[in-house]
């Protein structure tokens, strides 16, 4: 951690921009480079029925209103309004010092958080083809803020950056080398979440943090990461956010032969394949009912049951595969929406891993935080992730390094 004593008193804004939503958290700078949340919320339904909702750090509702009448031009119109709303809700003695963005792709060059200069912005735009559904949202938001608040420093924090430590034996596909060198390579994602978990383990369970840990980030988008000594060694997601386990609407790993067949047999175009694999597959595709794990778990429909079974087996298979990469297993962590809240899903996944020495304690699993395994098992823990905190901490570090430099 850098010396942050030179920083002014103030606040930071963390933004996570999706295709139809902007999630935000405001933090105040606390002492010694730490931060504390002030409020958080989201602008959802952008382009159809925009709505602002926000809560204070204590959980009180501070906004719940339709912004549909302002929604005349999507993010470019709404973001300056949102920034104005946020600034009026910041304590008057805590001016906004910077904004930190979650950016899905940093490619091969941007492997640590960066202050967004004109050159960095060009690099982010060049990476759009690698993450066509996610990268444009962050780039658009950065440009709008740059336009409306040119003096506000902006930082980019990448979902790929934490995986930069992976060795070539894990990050290289078995395709001709010139394609690997052209960037067809396993980048890994959800890195801000894994970085938070690695940091949490380092602070609270240093012995486990030094060992071999598989982290399962299971949400609407899901992936797993094999940590060795606190750094990323291998992950289930690779080139895009499609690889690995099946997700809410994404297919997970699929025989590439299926893609060739769909192109030949049904003359599917790249756009059609993108829609199919990103939006119509996964839990939704198998069940034909929902991408929400809670709905599937409660249903008696055999297709819903099959979707849950496939998800749990595939997560367990990835965990075992990552344990092979990292040379064994000292513990496992569940995080994100399903990982943190899905008691039954955790139990099903771990039942497939019994042979690896993983056994949940039913009462601890039902309680759902901290240690959920039995005393005879390898430790299995539930740790709520906090990607926003990681972005805020990186932004503070970048500000401090600038004010020193
Ligand atoms: P995102 O990837 O969009 O950030 P989250 O991490 O918020 O997603 O996870 C959202 C998912 O978590 C929901 O789609 C839902 O399936 C799942 N989820 C939330 N609560 C539960 C629960 N109690 N049991 C099982 N799944 C849950």
312 and 232 together in one domain = yes
Whether 26 is in the pocket of ligand 1, judged by its Cβ within 6 Å, is no
pLDDT at position 247 is: 97
Task: Tell me whether residue 168 is in a domain.
Answer: no
Total domains present in the chain:
2
Domain that holds residue 137: 11-158
315 and 229 together in one domain = yes
151 and 225 together in one domain = no
364 and 238 together in one domain = yes
Task: Tell me whether residue 399 is in a domain.
Answer: no
pTM of the model: 0.95
145 and 291 together in one domain = no
147 and 258 together in one domain = no
Task: Tell me whether residue 113 is in a domain.
Answer: yes
Mutate to test the pocket of ligand 1, among 21, 137, 220, 311 (most ligand atoms within 8 A of CB): 220
286 and 148 together in one domain = no
Task: Tell me whether residue 154 is in a domain.
Answer: yes
Distance 64 CA to ligand 1 centre (A): 22
pLDDT at position 168 is: 98
Task: Tell me whether residue 1 is in a domain.
Answer: no
Residue-level pLDDT, tens digit, the chain, 405 residues: 455 666 778 999 999 988 788 999 999 998 877 899 999 999 999 888 899 999 999 999 999 999 999 888 888 889 999 999 999 999 999 999 999 999 999 999 999 999 999 999 999 999 998 888 889 889 999 999 999 999 999 999 999 999 999 999 999 999 999 999 999 999 999 999 999 999 999 999 999 999 999 999 999 999 999 999 999 999 999 999 999 999 999 999 999 999 999 999 999 999 999 999 999 999 999 999 999 999 999 999 999 999 999 999 999 999 999 999 999 999 999 999 999 999 999 999 999 999 999 999 999 999 999 999 999 999 999 999 999 999 999 999 999 888 643
257 and 112 together in one domain = no
Task: Tell me whether residue 371 is in a domain.
Answer: yes
118 and 51 together in one domain = yes
150 and 233 together in one domain = no
215 and 335 together in one domain = yes
pLDDT at position 190 is: 97
Task: Tell me whether residue 394 is in a domain.
Answer: no
Distance 177 CA to ligand 1 centre (A): 38
Distance 245 CA to ligand 1 centre (A): 15
**Measuring from atom 12 of ligand 1, which residue has the nearest CA?**
337
Catalytic residues: 159
Whether 282 is in the pocket of ligand 1, judged by its Cβ within 6 Å, is no
CATH number of the domain at 45, please: 3.30.420.40
139 and 237 together in one domain = no
pLDDT at position 6 is: 64
Task: Tell me whether residue 367 is in a domain.
Answer: yes
Whether 293 is in the pocket of ligand 1, judged by its Cβ within 6 Å, is yes
* Last residue in a domain, options 130, 158, 186: 158
Write the CA distances from 154 to 121, 243, 310, 374, 394, integer angstroms: 11, 30, 41, 45, 11
**Measuring from atom 25 of ligand 1, which residue has the nearest CA?**
342
């Amino acid at each position: 951690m850098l010396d942050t004593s030179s920083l002014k008193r103030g606040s930071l804004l963390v933004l996570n921009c999706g295709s139809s939503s902007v999630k935000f958290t405001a933090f105040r700078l606390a002492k010694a480079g730490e931060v504390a949340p002030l409020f958080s919320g989201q602008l959802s339904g952008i382009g159809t029925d925009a709505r602002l909702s926000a809560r204070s750090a204590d959980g009180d509702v501070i906004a719940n209103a339709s912004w549909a009448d302002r929604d005349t031009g999507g993010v470019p119109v709404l973001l300056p309004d949102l920034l104005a709303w946020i600034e009026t809700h910041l304590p008057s003695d805590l001016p906004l010092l910077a904004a930190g963005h979650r950016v899905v792709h940093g490619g091969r060059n941007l492997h640590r958080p960066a202050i967004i200069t004109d050159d960095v912005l060009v690099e982010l735009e060049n990476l759009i083809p690698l993450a066509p559904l996610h990268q444009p949202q962050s780039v658009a938001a950065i440009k709008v803020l740059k336009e409306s608040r040119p003096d506000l420093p902006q930082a980019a924090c990448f979902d790929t950056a934490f995986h930069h430590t992976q060795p070539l034996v894990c990050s290289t596909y078995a395709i001709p080398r010139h394609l690997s060198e052209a960037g067809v390579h396993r980048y890994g994602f959800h890195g801000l979440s894994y970085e938070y978990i690695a940091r949490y383990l380092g602070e609270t369970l240093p012995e486990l943090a030094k060992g071999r840990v598989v982290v399962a980030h299971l949400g609407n988008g899901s992936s797993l990461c094999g940590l060795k000594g606190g750094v990323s060694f291998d992950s289930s997601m690779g080139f895009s956010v499609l690889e690995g386990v099946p997700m809410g609407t994404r297919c997970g790993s699929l025989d590439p032969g299926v893609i060739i067949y769909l192109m030949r047999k049904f003359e599917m175009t790249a756009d059609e394949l993108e829609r199919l694999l990103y939006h119509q597959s996964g839990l939704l595709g198998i069940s034909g009912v929902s991408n929400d794990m809670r709905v599937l778990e409660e249903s008696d429909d055999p297709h819903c049951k099959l979707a849950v079974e496939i998800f749990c087996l595939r997560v367990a298979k990835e965990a075992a595969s990552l344990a092979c990469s990292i040379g064994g297993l000292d513990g496992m962590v569940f995080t994100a929406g399903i990982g943190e809240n899905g008691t039954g899903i955790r139990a099903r996944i771990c039942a497939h891993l019994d042979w690896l020495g993983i056994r949940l304690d039913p009462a601890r699993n039902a309680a759902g935080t901290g240690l959920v395994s039995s005393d005879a098992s390898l430790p299995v823990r539930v740790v709520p992730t906090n990607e926003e905190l990681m972005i805020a901490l990186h932004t503070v570090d970048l500000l401090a390094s600038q004010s020193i430099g």
